[in-house]
Amino acid sequence: EVQLVESGGGLVKPGRSLRLSCTASGFTFGDYAMSWFRQAPGKGLEWVGFIRSKAYGGTTEYAASVKGRFTISRDDSKSIAYLQMNSLKTEDTAVYYCTRFEYSSSLFDYWGQGTLVTVSS
Amino acid sequence: DIVMTQTPLSLSVTPGQPASISCKSSQSLLHSDGKTYLYWYLQKPGQSPQLLIYEVSSRFSGVPDRFSGSGSGTDFTLKISRVEAEDVGVYYCMQGIHLPPYTFGQGTKLEIK
């Protein structure tokens, strides 16, 4: 069974940093790109960024709203994807979801349960 | 960025009746590979989003056949042939061709009468 479990969320002050983790199981992690999405309270879904699998270069892409502040990385040996968030702003407050990208059908098929990040002084 | 516009933003449906949601993109979602990268997700209350439809009309594994997707180019529709109580939630369309970023519609909230 495919499982994605996010962790690391919490309350943080503006300007500080936080690192989220996404621990995967039930599939060969290294074969998939991994992505992060977020959802501000009462709002819609927003794509944050993704990291390609090593076979596709392991490169990253980011939304303009987080580029230069957020970094996605992966540890295939541990089946974990990370979202390093620096210089956090109040508008980064959201539930952050980790997803798996399936290359053959070009889709985000499985999502984690999400972890809440609250940026507030 | 591609703008995705959904209508209506909310709808109330009697169980057993059909429902339809429209999604329009600001640019064509037809890729040079011949595929159209339009997806539909459902976010049930208190849950993470779940994939319903990919490439306009392909149902994801386990999705009931009362859900169907159609459309082409910039105009797309999600239809539920007979709404059930478990279908309540917010439906989102998403485009996956003009990247980055992936962009979503505003969401359509479905409730049961």
Averaged pLDDT for residues B69-84: 98
Give residue B98's pLDDT: 76
Chain A residues lying within 8 Å of B96, measured CB to CB: 106-107
Query: E strands along chain B, which residues?
Result: 4-7, 10-13, 19-25, 38-43, 50-54, 58-59, 67-72, 75-80, 89-95, 103-104, 108-112
Contact with chain A for residue B77, Cβ under 8 A:
no
Q: State the Cα–Cα distance between residues B22 and B55, nearest whole angstrom.
A: 15
Strand partners, A37: A47, A97
Q: What is the pLDDT of residues B15-38, one digit of tens each?
A: 999 999 999 999 999 999 999 999
The answer to whether the CB atoms of A45 and B51 lie below 8 A apart is no
Between CA A2 and CA B107, with CA A34 as vertex, the angle to 5 degrees is 85
Give residue B17's pLDDT: 98
Ranges of residues in chain A whose predicted pLDDT is under 50: none
Give residue A85's pLDDT: 98
The percent of residues above 70 in pLDDT, for chain B, comes to 100
The percent of residues above 90 in pLDDT, for chain B, comes to 96
Nearest-by-CA chain B residue for A48 = B101
User: Would the pLDDT of B107 be above 90?
Assistant: yes
Contact with chain A for residue B98, Cβ under 8 A:
no
User: Which candidate from A47, A105, A109 shows the least CB-CB separation from B102?
Assistant: A47
Q: State the Cα–Cα distance between residues B38 and A105, nearest whole angstrom.
A: 12
Q: How far is the alpha carbon of A63 from chain B, nearest alpha carbon, in Å?
A: 6
Q: How far is the alpha carbon of B48 from chain A, nearest alpha carbon, in Å?
A: 6
Give residue B97's pLDDT: 87
Give residue B111's pLDDT: 98
For residue A90, give the 3-state DSSP assignment: helix
Q: State the Cα–Cα distance between residues B66 and B56, nearest whole angstrom.
A: 15
